[in-house]
Chains A and B, each alone.
Chain A
């Protein structure tokens, strides 16, 4: 697996969500993902960036372009040092929200990507990695 691009995006305020949507879109276009694939990953990025800001108290996202055995992937890692998620299974249920959201951010973005990895520790923070592959 080779990393051909790696950048960090700060996630502090709601404006940063628009910014990461634009960044991810730009890379998806550059990597020639289909329009539907672009839309899915930009939407997942929007959901997870909002969670980082609203539930995690802010953090950062890493945008990584991967090549592996002739396939190209876009990976996004969302990280915060917030309160963490006490019950992962519950948080991944459709409609579960501790706020006023629709409770679809975690469960929905998991459906929109190829790989979804969620790690969280109480009072330490949350780290979510998503990956979308483009088959050559």
Chain B
């Protein structure tokens, strides 16, 4: 399987990365996700990486790019399920995941997303 499935849950998109992603899959995911944000008109994207045993600077850059692109389209991205061993490693590697929201798990990610959506709609006065 070369494509990572994107599920729609109410007003958000959920992506669960379950395989060791090679580079082409990462590019495809980035394109598919930004397209779906527009198509489905969602306000948030949740990316579950709890199955990922390794996050290198390439995946780190991909997550940052997805977050920037979706934000430009009015949707927040939250990365959930980073493993403790991965967290320790990416800090030492120097990957800061700037601009990417994170949460411990899918439930906490959804809660964070709801509060982010509320704040941003209040700021816009809608």
Contact = CB atoms under 8 A, between A and B. Distances in A.
B18 interface: no
Interface residues of B, number: 23
Contact of B55 (A35, A43, A105, A107): A43
A25 B53 contact: yes
B124 interface: no
Contact of B93 (A36, A101, A108): A108
Contact of B57 (A36, A38, A101): A101
A21 interface: yes
A43 B22 contact: no
Interface stretch (B28-36, B68-76, B83-91): B83-91
Contacts of A22: 20
Contacts of B94: 94, 102, 104, 107-108, 111
Nearest to A103: B57
9 contacts: A18-B21, A39-B54, A43-B54, A43-B93, A47-B56, A102-B61, A104-B94, A107-B94, A111-B93
Contact of B58 (A36, A39, A50, A111): A50
Contacts of B88: 36, 39-40
Contact of B89 (A14, A15, A17, A112): A112
A46 interface: yes
A14 B24 contact: yes
Given A104-B93, A112-B92, 11 more contacts: A15-B22, A17-B23, A35-B85, A39-B85, A39-B86, A40-B89, A42-B54, A43-B55, A47-B93, A101-B58, A111-B93
